[in-house]
Structure 1
Amino acid sequence: MDFPPLLSLRPHGADRDEEVAVEVPVALTVNGISQAVMLATPADLEDFALGFGIGEGWFMTRHELLDVEATPQADGIELALTVTAACEQRLKTRRRTLAGRTGCGLCGVESLAQLGSRRPAAIEAPPVMLERGALDHALSVLPTAQILNARCGGLHGAAWCRPDGKLVLAREDVGRHNALDKLIGALTRQDADVRGGFVLMSSRASFELVHKTAMAGAGLLACMSAPSSLAIATAGELGVQLWAFVREGRATRYA
């Protein structure tokens, strides 16, 4: 079932309708058990389910996710995930309910000890070698890949790019974390090799974005806005190259 990612409405005093990004609660259940509720844009939901699960360590491979069914509910959308028995058993040992949102925070982490348990392994692939002008080229192409954002102006973009800056795939969402989840899910479903390219985000660089990039096995994250101290420290620990303030003619490497 398709859900509208944009909504047309007429602002007060305006003489025409405008399109705004849809933001709804998306409840993820795994084999009938509630696992997470996130606020997201209802587009590319299968990608979102797989990418979110990879970032949370639910899935070891994409084949553990057997099916995704999206169903409208009174207050949002339910994403019913059917997973393998081995995956279900693994989740039962660490089940928790996540209260998600599009802003800052560590989704579902109830203690500092849990934060350490979620830490992915350091990237083992060779460092990503960017070609000259790659970041500038990818940045210039990103707006054309954000089809929904061009209509409403309210969505973050996450893109996968080759070392020469060629944009391969992009996803959008009101939340930057969700946009990256969707991108990771789409790449995983295509069995894409993410070791040689880089992730480009239209947002600031946060801990969660670095974490998700590492969980996906990618070795470079580039963001248009500023990094946080924890994002920089985490990128250094995990061997993820972190570039921020990626704007026309400039970029700063922090890790």
Structure 2
Amino acid sequence: MSTLLPLATQAGSTACRPVASTRWRYEAETCVARDTEIAVEWPVNIRYGSVPYAVMMATPLDLEDFVTGFSLTEGIIADASEIRAIRISDEPEAISVDVELAPGRFRQHLGRQRRLTGRTSCGVCGVEDASQLPRAERRSATRTPVAAEAVARAVGDLRAHQPLYARTRAVHGAAWCDREGRILMAREDVGRHNALDKLIGAVLRAGEAATGGFVVVTSRASYEMVEKTAMLGAAALVSVSAPTSLAVSRARAAGLMLVSVAREDGCEVFSGELTR
């Protein structure tokens, strides 16, 4: 029989694991004992200069990308070069990620520390006042236009870049695409915000020119997904599911194209204009 809660070391080495379950088939009136692969969800303790900042429930995969993107979208860094080192270690009940920043960088951010555990479904846990909600600081006028056929191509190819989803059916994905809709990199996580932060971190660490590409996510487009994408400087956010009202207004204010309910045969544009 498989173990549901292995050592943290094992959690950090894999993104999914087999768990004992029973498969029922109603019409056939049968049940079969089996091992089912499920996605790993594990506490990730993020510390800056040994100062605890947040505990995020995440899939322990691509953690260097995760903390880099998380640091940007939290407003702690402005560029990946401001991170001096990332150290990952296993503890009995969590994985700890210690981030060493450029001198003085974290002290500038001490006024807004998270004070709650970051759940996988929540993007603003620990924010104590509405004025502290994440907001992209700059409106970019240099973003590359996005064509309808590029969106269709990216959405059509997305599943092929989600190996963890194919095994577990339990994770979200975020993909980075060039102007032709080719998927250049993708990241997955049980949390949609985490998947996007991982992708943003990967783009930053790779030194990609963010204004020349766009982001596709498997989730809905909520306001914080818009803000994260705008902070990256991408041309557009494309979501498989629908947007929220605040997401639309924030996308328009930031000059970010927002395309939602995206399928291979069509989509809805809520901010900006697709080119033909």
What TM bracket, shorter-length normalisation? over 0.9
The 5-angstrom pairing of residues 1-255 of structure 1 reads 2-12=12-22, 13-115=31-133, 118-255=134-271
Measure, in 1, the Cα distance between the counterparts of 2:32 and 2:90.
31
Asked whether the equivalents of residues 123 and 219 of structure 1 are also in contact (C-alpha less than 8 Å), the reply is no
Query: 1:160 Cα deviation (Å)?
Result: 0.5
Measure, in 2, the Cα distance between the counterparts of 1:179 and 1:39.
12
Query: 1:96 Cα deviation (Å)?
Result: 3.9
TM-score between both structures, scaled by the size of structure 2: 0.87
Measure, in 1, the Cα distance between the counterparts of 2:262 and 2:111.
41
SS in 1 for 2:211: coil
State the percentage of identical aligned residues: 40
State the one-letter code of the partner of 2:176.
W
- Inter-CA distance 107–217: structure 2 relative to 1 (3 Å threshold): farther
Unmatched tracts of structure 1, length 5 or more: none
Asked whether the equivalents of residues 122 and 239 of structure 1 are also in contact (C-alpha less than 8 Å), the reply is no
- Inter-CA distance 81–25: structure 2 relative to 1 (3 Å threshold): same
Deviations 1:155-194, CA, capped at 9 Å, x for gaps: 1110011121111110000011000000000110011001
Asked whether the equivalents of residues 8 and 20 of structure 1 are also in contact (C-alpha less than 8 Å), the reply is yes
- Inter-CA distance 96–248: structure 2 relative to 1 (3 Å threshold): closer
Unmatched tracts of structure 2, length 5 or more: 1-8, 23-30, 272-276
Query: 1:209 Cα deviation (Å)?
Result: 0.4
- Inter-CA distance 229–132: structure 2 relative to 1 (3 Å threshold): closer
Asked whether the equivalents of residues 43 and 55 of structure 2 are also in contact (C-alpha less than 8 Å), the reply is yes
SS in 2 for 1:10: strand
Out of 1-10 and 144-153, give the one that drifted further. Answer: 1-10
Query: 1:105 Cα deviation (Å)?
Result: 4.5
Deviations 1:23-44, CA, capped at 9 Å, x for gaps: 0111100000000111100000
Query: 1:64 Cα deviation (Å)?
Result: 1.4
Asked whether the equivalents of residues 125 and 195 of structure 1 are also in contact (C-alpha less than 8 Å), the reply is no
TM-score between both structures, scaled by the size of structure 1: 0.94
Asked whether the equivalents of residues 116 and 125 of structure 2 are also in contact (C-alpha less than 8 Å), the reply is yes
Q: Over alpha carbons, which structure has the higher Rg?
A: 2
Asked whether the equivalents of residues 125 and 219 of structure 1 are also in contact (C-alpha less than 8 Å), the reply is no
User: In angstroms, what is the RMSD of aligned CA positions?
Assistant: 1.6
Out of 31-40 and 11-20, give the one that drifted further. Answer: 11-20
Measure, in 2, the Cα distance between the counterparts of 1:208 and 1:33.
25
- Inter-CA distance 139–35: structure 2 relative to 1 (3 Å threshold): same
Asked whether the equivalents of residues 59 and 189 of structure 2 are also in contact (C-alpha less than 8 Å), the reply is yes
* Superposed structure 1 runs of 4+ greater than 4 Å apart: none
